[in-house]
């Protein structure tokens, strides 16, 4: 079932948004300061290509200083590119939510839209 979901996902916006994530990662990688953002974009872009069978969870906290870095990273990310990726996911979610078959894909796009705004402090794990 995961394989079928992932194949259909590519046609229902997964390919376009995955490429968008990878383009954002390539642009971020052009600068030394953007390399951490590029790594996160490539990780989430890969997840965006094949999301079924994996899920997004909060990363375990390692101290107060880390929370501040995560907050700053998320704010910078939203300003530099996260808002555009979130809007792309929201667009696909709205289009797919019109049909009954598209609802599971719309829900996945909404999860990715949330991740587009706050990628730091999250990790992607394989569901058992």
Mean pLDDT of the chain: 89
Residue 99, burial from CB neighbour count under 10 angstroms (0-12, 13-18, 19+)? exposed
pLDDT at 110 exceeding the cut of 90: yes
The tens digit of pLDDT for each residue in 50-79 reads 898 888 888 887 767 778 888 888 898 898
Looking at residue 22, what is its pLDDT?
Answer: 94
Query: 71-75 long-range CB contacts below 8 Å, 24 or more apart?
Result: 73/36, 73/37, 73/120, 74/117, 74/118, 74/119, 74/120, 74/121
If one counts the domains in the chain, the total is 1
Range of the domain at 107: 2-126
Q: Average the pLDDT over 7-13 and give the result.
A: 90
How far is residue 76's CA from residue 10's CA, in Å, rounded to a whole number?
29
Looking at residue 70, what is its pLDDT?
Answer: 85
**Collapsed DSSP state (helix, strand, coil) of residue 55:** strand
How far is residue 101's CA from residue 61's CA, in Å, rounded to a whole number?
37
- Percent pLDDT > 70 in the chain is 99
The tens digit of pLDDT for each residue in 81-91 reads 889 999 999 99
Q: Rounded to two decimals, what is the model's pTM?
A: 0.85
Q: What is the dihedral of CA 29, 34, 39, 40, to 10 degrees?
A: -130
pLDDT at 1 exceeding the cut of 80: no
Asked if residues 2 and 53 have their Cβ atoms less than 8 Å apart, the reply is: yes
């Amino acid at each position: 079932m995961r394989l079928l979901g992932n194949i259909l996902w590519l046609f229902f916006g997964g390919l376009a948004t995955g490429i968008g994530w990878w383009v954002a990662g390539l642009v971020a990688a052009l600068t030394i300061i953007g390399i951490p953002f590029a790594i996160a974009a490539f990780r989430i872009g890969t997840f965006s290509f094949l999301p079924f069978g994996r899920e997004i969870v909060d990363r375990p906290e390692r101290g107060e200083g880390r929370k501040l870095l995560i907050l700053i990273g998320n704010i910078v990310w939203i300003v530099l590119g996260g808002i555009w990726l979130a809007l792309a996911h929201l667009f696909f979610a709205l289009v797919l939510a019109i049909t009954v078959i598209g609802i599971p894909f719309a829900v996945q796009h909404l999860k990715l839209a949330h991740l587009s705004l706050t990628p730091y402090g999250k990790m992607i794990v394989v569901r058992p």
